[in-house]
């Protein structure tokens, strides 16, 4: 048996290695049109920024190492030009010798990946405009920086790669502006969770142009003029990071089914519509694990899994891909941003009746030095209580909590079942009530009716005519640092002694800094016959969304 794999990196290399582990005797050939068979795609920005010092660290496998370990023949700089599905041959061009030859196959795996989107606008082909998808792209950017010492750069697109590039260009000593067409960075985040990211990026010297798309690029004597929907920016270089599209032209030409977006259509076993041809990685259509809708989610983790699944099925093992939930994490200077599952925009688009809540919890026991708070948002299906998505923005311990939540979603957990998880605890690592448990406790209180919520986007519409009571239970010192107009202040610890100030015939809307003390206030009020609503996420979330400015640091009294 002979299997040809077109394309390496995550999907193709993973398929080849798995195939060899399952079958020592078959012939395996990888055709890769580039110079590198397996490289750390996600590490490319950190080489540009200097965090990764050696270029060799980006290369995970070479043709020689693949042959030595797996007995897989890797032909770099060999481009597949055409697939004859009837004769089961691939026409290949050796890019070094310019010769064209045919290679037969019994099984074929397509792993062509995706390519950066370049909008059709004036000036986009300037030598000062770059994309980042491969090691050659990385070296081109790095060489330009080393040779020309640019002082300013514009990054168009504020997704994962765009934000990472902004950080690393800044670390390389370059003044950076991110131009983003939407109203917030990191598309999987909702706007409210992105607000903290925005002000942190600004605090670290990154300029943001939100709701401001790219219109044109013009070369000048000294650099570039970058024209946006609103205004112009002068820059020495520009990084395009507005997304990728599947590289499926070869498959389409061979009669393999692709969808309207150009993604290759496969079944759960990664089989295409053509017998003995499989496809994996960024070029394929996948199902969203939660909604079961088809989607395009180019991530390394799913690509690796799909390569393994294709190899399993070629080897006679029954294996299927159950869908992508979009778990991802991002480092921005010292901040960590992580997401999994659906955000509000995607839940609304799918017609899911959902509820949500927020918490603001410490990374470990606050009496142990070094604790920092993280903001966590969770969404769940109102009918089934199934957890459908989460977002975390913080510093220490974000990855740990998101991995737990991602696993819970994959296993179909209800949001209330987060209360039952027995997670590791010692003061340097966590709390006896871990943030994941706390998320479950808060959600359970909402689900069981122990508290009713209102949200930051409801605050400004609340009547200020006396028909409702607006109550702030923070300390007087906290109120001096900032307040929401119309809310009277009665600190929590004095609330029971001042209930006579609150009419019982009016609903009470309560807030504190994060939502914890105001929950306690609500329980006090409910126990005394009041109709009470708690501001989910508290004043800190409201302030972050409304103002996106740095809050003066202080000790959070409710976190002790």
List, in sequence order, every residue forming a beta bridge with 374; answer none if it has no partner: 361
Q: At what angle do helices 9-22 and 300-314 cross, to 10 degrees?
A: 30
- Give the ranges where 23-75 is alpha helix by DSSP (H): 44-48, 63-70
* Residue 460, both tokens: 């400004």
Produce one character per residue of 361-380: b if its CB has 16 or more CB atoms within 10 Å, e if not. Answer: bbbbbbeeeebebbbbbbbb
Are the beta carbons of 364 and 429 closer than 8 angstroms?
yes
List, in sequence order, every residue forming a beta bridge with 452; answer none if it has no partner: 533
Half-sphere exposure of 230 (CA within 13 A, CB side): 8
Cα distance between residue 347 and residue 349, in whole Å: 5
64: exposed, middle or buried (Cβ count in 10 Å: 0-12, 13-18, 19+) = exposed
Residue holding tokens 């122990």? 450
**Active-site residue among 42, 424, 512, 556?**
42
Longest pairwise C-alpha distance within the chain = 90
Cα distance between residue 388 and residue 381, in whole Å: 7
Q: Minimal CA–CA distance to 107: which of 268, 263, 271, 317?
A: 271
Dihedral of alpha carbons 124, 126, 128, 133, sign: positive
Cα–Cα distances in angstroms (integers) from residue 183 to residues 17, 121, 151, 328, in the given order: 42, 22, 27, 20
DSSP characters over 257-307: -B-TTSPBP--TT-B-SSTTEEE-GGGB-EEBTTT--EE----HHHHHHHH
Half-sphere exposure of 241 (CA within 13 A, CB side): 27
Kindly report the number of other CB atoms within 10 A of residue 103's CB atom.
Answer: 17
Cα 307 to its chain centre, rounded Å, is 22
* Residue 201, both tokens: 């990026």
End-to-end CA distance of the chain: 65
Q: What is the dihedral of CA 361, 366, 370, 376, to 10 degrees?
A: 0
Q: Is 424 a catalytic residue?
A: no
Q: What is the dihedral of CA 358, 362, 364, 366, to 10 degrees?
A: -150
Are the beta carbons of 185 and 201 closer than 8 angstroms?
yes
Catalytic residue annotation: 42
């Amino acid at each position: 048996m002979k299997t040809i794999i077109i394309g390496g990196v995550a999907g193709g290399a993973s398929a080849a290695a798995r195939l060899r582990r399952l079958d020592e005797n078959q012939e395996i050939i990888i055709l890769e049109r580039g110079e590198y068979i397996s490289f750390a795609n996600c590490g490319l920005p950190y080489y540009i920024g200097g965090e990764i010092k050696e270029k060799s660290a980006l290369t995970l496998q070479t043709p020689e190492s693949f042959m030595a370990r797996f007995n897989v023949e890797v032909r770099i700089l060999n481009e597949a030009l055409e697939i004859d599905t009837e004769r089961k041959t691939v026409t290949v061009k050796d890019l070094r010798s310019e010769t064209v030859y045919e290679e037969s196959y019994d099984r074929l795996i397509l792993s062509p990946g995706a390519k950066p989107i370049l909008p059709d606008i004036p000036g986009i082909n300037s030598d000062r405009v770059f994309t980042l998808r491969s090691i050659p792209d990385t070296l081109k950017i790095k060489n330009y920086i080393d040779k020309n010492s640019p002082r300013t750069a514009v990054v168009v697109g504020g997704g994962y790669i765009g934000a990472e590039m902004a950080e690393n260009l800044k670390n390389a000593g370059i003044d950076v502006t991110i131009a983003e067409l939407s109203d917030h960075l990191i598309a999987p985040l909702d706007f409210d969770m992105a607000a903290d990211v925005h002000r942190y990026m600004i605090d670290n010297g990154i300029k943001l142009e939100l709701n401001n798309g790219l219109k044109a690029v013009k070369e000048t004597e000294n650099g570039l003029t970058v024209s946006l929907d609103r205004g112009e920016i002068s820059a020495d270089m520009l990084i395009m990071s507005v997304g990728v599209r599947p590289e499926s032209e070869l498959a389409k030409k061979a009669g393999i089914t692709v969808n309207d977006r150009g993604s290759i259509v496969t079944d759960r076993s990664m089989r295409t519509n053509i017998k003995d041809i499989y496809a994996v990685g960024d070029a394929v259509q996948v199902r969203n694990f939660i909604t079961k809708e088809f989607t395009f989610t180019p991530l390394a983790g799913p690509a690796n899994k799909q390569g393994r699944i294709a190899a399993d099925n070629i080897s006679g093992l029954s294996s299927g891909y159950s869908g992508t939930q979009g778990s991802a994490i991002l480092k921005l200077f010292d901040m960590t941003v992580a997401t999994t599952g659906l955000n509000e925009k995607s839940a609304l688009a799918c017609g899911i009746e959902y509820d949500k809540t927020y918490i603001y919890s410490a990374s470990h026991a606050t009496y142990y030095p070094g604790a920092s708070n993280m903001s966590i948002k969770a969404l769940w299906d109102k009918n089934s209580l199934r957890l459908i998505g989460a977002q975390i923005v913080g510093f220490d311990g974000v990855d740990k909590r998101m991995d737990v939540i991602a696993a819970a979603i994959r296993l179909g957990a209800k949001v209330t079942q987060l209360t039952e998880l027995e997670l590791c605890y010692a003061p340097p690592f966590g709390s006896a009530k871990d943030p994941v448990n706390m998320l479950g406790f808060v959600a359970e209180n909402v689900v069981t009716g122990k508290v009713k919520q209102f949200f930051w986007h409801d605050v400004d519409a609340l009547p200020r005519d006396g028909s409702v009571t607006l109550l702030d239970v923070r300390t007087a010192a906290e109120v001096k640092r900032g307040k929401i107009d119309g809310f009277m202040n009665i600190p929590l610890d004095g609330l029971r002694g001042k209930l006579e100030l609150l009419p019982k015939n009016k609903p009470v809307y309560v807030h504190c800094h994060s939502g914890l003390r105001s929950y306690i206030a609500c329980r006090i009020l409910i126990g005394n016959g009041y109709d009470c609503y708690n501001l989910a996420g508290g004043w800190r979330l409201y302030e972050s969304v409304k103002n996106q400015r740095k809050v003066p640091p202080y000790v959070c009294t409710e976190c002790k």
